[in-house]
Amino acid sequence: MQDLNEKAVVVVEAVARVILAAVRAQRHES
């Protein structure tokens, strides 16, 4: 179960980075 938790954390971090990058790009454009 720890393996799944660790993988979940990595995925969540990656998704958060992508979302932050998209938000920053949209704000930068407008």
Domain ranges of the chain: 1-30
Residue ranges of the chain whose pLDDT lies below 70: 30
Name the residue among 4, 6, 10 with its Cα closest to residue 18.
10
9 to 2, 12, 14, 18, 27: CA distances (angstroms): 11, 5, 9, 14, 27
Q: Provide the pLDDT for residue 28.
A: 83
Phi-psi region of 6 (alpha: psi -120 to 50; beta: other; left: phi over 0): alpha
Q: Provide the pLDDT for residue 14.
A: 99
